[in-house]
Structure 1
Amino acid sequence: MKMNRGRIVKRSIAFVWLVVLFCCLFVVLISVLRLPEVSNGRKAIGLYHTTKTRESSENEFSSIGKFGEKMIEMLPEDLAFTVFVPSERAFERDLRLRKNESLVEKMNDDTYATISRVLGFSAIPRTITSGNVSFGEETLYDSISGFVLYISKDVDGMLVVNRVRSETVDIKRNKIVVHVMDGVIMDAEFEESVQPDEEEGK
């Protein structure tokens, strides 16, 4: 009787283990079948299809502009950075830098100093794509100069940094991610120093 009872207990335990094992395998199988497609790195993850990379269009890539190119050249290519580069229009409107005038040899030192200062405000030593930013949330990052950047995402997937909206997002240059902005990200002190002529002219 005792031996029979022992066999029944052992068989019951074995049966329970088999059921548990089958359930685990079933859950794993269902999970694998329902996994979403893996992104190939050229598309933003989520609702928005806003990622723009060098491979997708040379015209989009050229939207960085001459001054933006100079900013990117100041960074090491083999390290991960995110740069919020002002558009050519923003450089001219907000900093009065015009590529035909500001890139001539006699103005080169002043232009370099201005661009490097802007880079300090707008570069982050890590990769941030539009897919990393959730809609409706604001994320804080320190730029390489220590200036705090408040980054959020609009309904259309464009990034907003310190109230400056992006024109193009997720342009990739080696390990550097570039977002072209419709404005210049800078602190109040630097903004005052680059715009005194406008006040005097009024």
Structure 2
Amino acid sequence: MAARRRRMLFPHRPRLPPQRRHLLAGLAAAFTVTLLFIVLILLPLPPSSPPMRHETHTTSTPPHDPPPAHCAAMSASLGEFGDLMLSMLPRDLAFTAFVPSPESFRRVLKLQPNDSAAEGKAGGAYAVVSRVLGFSAVPRRLRSADVPPRERVRLLDSVSGLKMHAWRDDDADGALVVNGVRSECVDVVRGETVVHVMAGVLMDAEFQRSFPPEFDD
């Protein structure tokens, strides 16, 4: 009797056929998707952030006056001793040469035109030029723009070990000042070599003592 009474209190519910259960499940899923779509449309969108910009900081150098007229001719000839100096460098390797101007060869080193041709490779002029090359050549390409302005920096040592310090004077047409010697022309390209023509001679103190007392005349 007790079992029969429990069956009467909880009557057995008839099960839905499988096709109807699938239909109801599909309708419920469709209703849920539709409701979610409506909610997403009605929600306020966050303010869009502006596209990221890659900031580029550029520094501009003040315009310079055109280089002196004789600097344009330096690409063809650096003078007798300047050309002799460059001929001693390997043509297929990168170098920077701080070549004395023709006047500096004459005034500082007391070399006169045709001295090298008259004496040959065994003469004093050839020996002096080859010695100066050791002080003046750096085994890398170094343009004037590679040297910072108004800040004395240490460059590579020359091929003979002379320590070089340089800075760029943007107030004087971008002239270079190397170990206190100012350039006359910069960035003369001869093959793989960058040439800066100097109003003086780069050398160490010992070699400098070989030219007294007329060194400053």
TM-score, reference length from structure 1 = 0.71
**Percent identity among equivalent residues?**
42
| d(CA) in 2 for partners of 1:110, 1:94 | 15
Please tell me the residue identity of whatever aligns with 1:47.
P
Residue 130 (str. 1) matches residue 144 (str. 2): yes
Please tell me the residue identity of whatever aligns with 2:196.
H
More helix by share: 1
Q: CA deviation at 1:117?
A: 0.8
Q: CA deviation at 1:166?
A: 0.6
Counterpart position of 1:177 = 194
| Correspondences of 1:1-202 after superposition (within 5 Å) | 4=36, 19=48, 23-24=51-52, 27=53, 46-49=61-64, 59-62=73-76, 64-105=78-119, 108-141=122-155, 142-154=157-169, 155-156=171-172, 157-193=174-210, 195-196=211-212, 198=214
Q: Which runs of 5+ in 2 are unaligned?
A: 1-31
CA root-mean-square deviation: 3.5
Q: Is the 8 A contact 1:170 1:179 kept in 2?
A: yes
How many residues of Structure 1 are paired with residues of Structure 2 in the alignment? 175
Q: Is the 8 A contact 2:77 2:83 kept in 1?
A: no
TM-score, reference length from structure 2 = 0.67
Q: Is the 8 A contact 1:151 1:160 kept in 2?
A: yes
Q: CA deviation at 1:63?
A: 5.7
Deviations 1:108-131 (A, max 9, x none): 532221111101101111111111
Deviations 1:88-110 (A, max 9, x none): 11011111111133431368532
Q: CA deviation at 1:58?
A: 5.1
| d(CA) in 2 for partners of 1:65, 1:143 | 22
Deviations 1:43-73 (A, max 9, x none): xx83354797xxx975242462110111111
Question: 3-state SS of the aligned residue for 1:172?
Answer: strand
Q: Is the 8 A contact 2:148 2:167 kept in 1?
A: yes
